[in-house]
Amino acid sequence: MEEKEMEKDLFMLINERLPKLSKGHKLIANFILSHYDKAAFMTAQKLGITVGVSESTVVRFATELGYDGYPALQRALQGLMRNKLTAVQRIEVMNDRLTRDDVLERVLTLDIEKIRRTLEETSTEDFNRAVDMITSCNTIYILAARSTAPLASFMSYYFNLIFPKVRLVHNSSTSEMFEQIMHIDENDVLIGISFPRYSKQTVKGLQFAKSKGTHVIALTDSISSPLAQFADTLLLAHSDMASFVDSLVAPLSLINALIVAVSITDIDRVSKNFESLEQIWEEYDVYEKSDNSDGPLKP
């Protein structure tokens, strides 16, 4: 069975195997079924200590379920449960994983790891296809909600400096969202952004755009994301939480790459745009001039 399929069927798989499992494996299985939110972030050693079995028993349990090892089981469990966690459960997970003394190093290290995994696993072919869609469309629509809304605003800000027709979709209500995308068609592109916990409004927006023949690009965390089924192109970035706060460092890094890629596709036009902008910024005194603009600071 493929690992992505196992993510969806993990609980079912454990329940089916439960009657035939050994005593030690049953302890592990029952703990995962009852405390999946905690088990997903435990090492094999810690899980073994928690349920009263050896680390090697935990590793054998993962193999018994058909995984290559415990890390594969852990990734499947994390992928399955991330969208199920409430804010309260996220806080409980945070308390188990972090202390005040190590929070700075731990959070930044986790973010570095997410960017590394995104770089290793993101499809260059899908990335280039997204660039081509964006640079050849009529209007770019960008849709995100809740904690991912700042990602959409960031992308919209820079795309507006590059392209003549960019629309940031504000979706404080479902009706308002549909009013803003009602004229979308096959000549446009809609970029939808959502990570666990997934926004229902964003999913509905992608579904509507797909029904209109629009080119849909989804920026999300996995092929099992509800956005994936409506996407022509899927851009995957690792997202996790160190607490109740969503970590969106890797998605933002991927968006940075996307902005740079579309800008160098037509660098001459982009350069002219920024030459004009520099004149406007200078004329209307947009940016603060530093004290050392006329030379180095004097002691």
pLDDT digits (tens, 9 = 90+) for 45-59: 999 999 999 999 999
Question: For residue 299, what pLDDT is reported?
Answer: 44
Rounded CA gap, 8 and 76, in Å? 8
Runs of H (alpha helix) within the chain? 3-17, 23-34, 36-39, 44-51, 55-64, 70-81, 87-97, 103-121, 124-136, 149-162, 174-181, 200-211, 249-265, 267-283
Q: Kindly report, as residue ranges, where domains of CATH 3.40.50.10490 are found in the chain.
A: 117-283
Q: For domain 117-283, give its CATH number from 2.40.128.20, 3.40.640.10, 3.40.50.10490, 3.40.190.10.
A: 3.40.50.10490
Quick: pLDDT tens for 125-146. Answer: 999 999 999 999 999 999 999 8
Please name the CATH architecture into which domain 3-81 falls: Orthogonal Bundle (1.10)
Q: Kindly report, as residue ranges, where domains of CATH 1.10.10.10 are found in the chain.
A: 3-81
H or E element at residue 190? strand 189-193
Question: For residue 12, what pLDDT is reported?
Answer: 79
The pTM assigned to this predicted structure is 0.69
Phi, psi of 246 (to 5 degrees): -75, 135
**Which residues of the chain have a pLDDT value below 50?**
1-8, 87-88, 242, 244, 296-299
CA atoms within 13 A on the CB side of 60: 12
What's the token pair of residue 208?
């509507």
Question: For residue 4, what pLDDT is reported?
Answer: 43
